[in-house]
Chain A
Amino acid sequence: MTATVVTATVGAVERTLAAPTTGFLDDESREWLRALRAEGPERDEAVARLHTLLLKAARFEVARRRPTLQHVRGDLDEIAVEAAADALLGVLRRLDDFRGASRFTTWAYKFALYEAAVKVRKRAWQGREVLLEAEGWEPFADSGLGPDAEVEQRELLETVREGVHSVLTPHQRQVLIALAVNGVPIDVLAERLGSTRGALYKTLHDARRRLRGHLGERGLAFASVEEK
């Protein structure tokens, strides 16, 4: 690693670590904020540049998710255009939340990536039925367990299946089965249930904790293997 790279890396680390407490802004980020808080043509020009930046990020996300949209008809660029417009509103509305914990562009990108990703998931599931109950659960009964399966695995599976029906509330069961068994994207489920990603994830998290507790009460434990 060259001295220049090391210096740049250390500088970036110091900036990102220090930013949340010191409010340090790099020059480019400070200039973004100044221009976006200006008035008249200067602000208009900054907003236009920001929109260009967000559109680039939204198109980047749509391109990454294109394989999930092969069955979708219509102009996929519409998704990116709509996402960039929504992200622009979000960034401008939350401009005061930016504290310099990252570069301004990285902070802004996440709004566009989020908006585009949510729209892609919803478009990909448009018109598809969202299964919340047993239809999605039954295939699990056939998965991965042959006659030579480990006794411990079989016991684990049976205890999880029993726990889903005995220790979860109906809402927790619905959310867990839809998200974790049937693979419904969380944003799609949120839209169908009139909820939010954050609220559904909390429900999922609570359900998982109950199931782990259920296993623990029976002397069982599952150590997840991170999917690479």
Chain B
Amino acid sequence: MTERRDLNQELGRILGPDGPDIGCDACFRELDRYVELELAGADADAAVPGLRTHLEGCPACREEHDSLYALAGSER
């Protein structure tokens, strides 16, 4: 039996997030700065526009962001 999947999530994966997106290469360049701003409670999205949108559209970069946030955060 085919598992019913949530249509909105399915469409979200296909259509992706709306708005400026910095892409994978710039995401990697800026990721450490972005994560440290997040950990410091600063406005990381204002400092690095388009990175949050990219994380919503790119599961691989999102996983790496989450790992860096967890690892760097564990040392605070």
A185 cross-chain contacts in B, Cβ below 8 A: 59-60
Q: Number of contacting residues on A, CB 8 A?
A: 58
Question: Majority SS of interface residues in chain A?
Answer: helix
Mask, A178-206, CB within 8 Å of B = 1, is 00110001110000000001100110110
Whole-angstrom distance between the alpha carbons of A205 and B24 in the complex? 11
Mask, B2-20, CB within 8 Å of A = 1, is 1011111111111111100
Q: Identify which of residues 100-159 in chain A touch chain B, using a CB-to-CB cut-off of 8 Å.
A: 101-103, 105-107, 109-110, 113-114, 117, 121, 139-140, 142-145, 149, 153, 156-157
With an 8 A cutoff between CB atoms, is A3 at the interface? no
- What are 24 residue pairs bridging A and B, where the CB atoms are less than 8 Å apart in the complex? A9-B41, A13-B40, A17-B37, A17-B42, A57-B71, A60-B67, A65-B63, A102-B35, A106-B35, A106-B68, A110-B32, A117-B60, A117-B67, A139-B5, A143-B6, A144-B8, A157-B11, A160-B15, A180-B14, A181-B10, A181-B13, A205-B21, A224-B16, A227-B56
Residues of A within 8 A of B (CB): 9, 12-13, 16-17, 19-20, 57, 60-61, 64-65, 101-103, 105-107, 109-110, 113-114, 117, 121, 139-140, 142-145, 149, 153, 156-157, 160, 164, 176, 180-181, 185-187, 197-198, 201-202, 204-205, 208, 211-212, 215, 222-227
